[in-house]
């Protein structure tokens, strides 16, 4: 019987046993806004991808909205993508519209191309929330990378 493909995202030791030595090419696409937070997401995602035996290549885009087009273009030559960004609440509801646009766009790309995209786009109220969710045990970049690796493996 095949390997268990329903492992928890919270069990990092299980990544290597699921993936083995397969060579998965993953584009890590990160927005440039809120660099300190995004850097933590990038570090977590790339560390997770490399530790699984997969290949990570980093691409930077101006902001979270640009993640959508970058995912679409890069998925022509990559097995999967991890989209990383930060949408910080301001004085208006602009962040809500941007978040919907980005998440809907990424989902549309994923479904149209039938390739997985791990979403590590933080929607936060404060910079401290972003720092907390881009480091340690709660790093959204790590979780996005784990999810996308499992999805690639599921469909191989």
How many domains is the chain partitioned into structurally? Answer: 1
Query: Does the annotation flag 15 for ligand binding?
Result: no
In a domain, 91, yes or no: yes
Residue 85: name the closest of 66, 58, 69 by CA. Answer: 66
Q: Determine contact, residues 139/40, Cβ cutoff 8 Å.
A: yes
Query: Does the annotation flag 48 for ligand binding?
Result: no
Query: Which pLDDT tens digit goes with each residue over 75-116?
Result: 999 999 999 999 998 788 888 889 999 999 999 999 999 999
In a domain, 36, yes or no: yes
In a domain, 25, yes or no: no
Q: What is the pLDDT along the chain (156 residues), one digit of tens a residue?
A: 333 333 344 444 444 444 454 589 999 999 999 999 999 999 999 999 999 999 999 999 999 999 999 999 999 999 999 999 999 987 888 888 899 999 999 999 999 999 999 999 999 999 999 999 999 889 999 999 999 999 999 988
Domain span holding position 48:
30-145
In a domain, 7, yes or no: no
Q: Determine contact, residues 118/75, Cβ cutoff 8 Å.
A: no
Q: Specify whether 55 is catalytic.
A: no
Residue 93 sits in a domain of what CATH number?
3.40.50.960
pTM of the model: 0.85
In a domain, 15, yes or no: no
The one-character DSSP state at 138 is G
Query: Does the annotation flag 65 for ligand binding?
Result: yes
């Amino acid at each position: 019987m095949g390997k268990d493909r329903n492992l928890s995202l919270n069990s990092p030791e299980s990544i290597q046993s699921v993936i083995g030595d397969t060579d998965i090419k993953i584009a890590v696409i990160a927005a440039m806004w809120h660099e300190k937070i995004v850097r933590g997401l990038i570090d977590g995602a790339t560390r997770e991808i490399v530790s699984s035996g997969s290949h990570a290549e980093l691409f930077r885009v101006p902001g979270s909205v640009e993640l959508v087009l970058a995912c679409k273009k890069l998925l022509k030559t990559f097995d999967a993508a991890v989209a990383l960004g930060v949408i910080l609440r301001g004085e208006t509801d602009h962040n809500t519209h941007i978040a919907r646009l980005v998440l809907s766009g990424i989902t549309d790309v994923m479904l149209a191309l039938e390739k997985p995209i791990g979403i590590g786009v933080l929607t936060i109220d404060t910079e401290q929330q972003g720092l907390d969710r881009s480091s340690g045990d709660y790093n959204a970049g790590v979780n996005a990378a784990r999810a996308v690796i499992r999805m690639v493996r599921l469909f191989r």
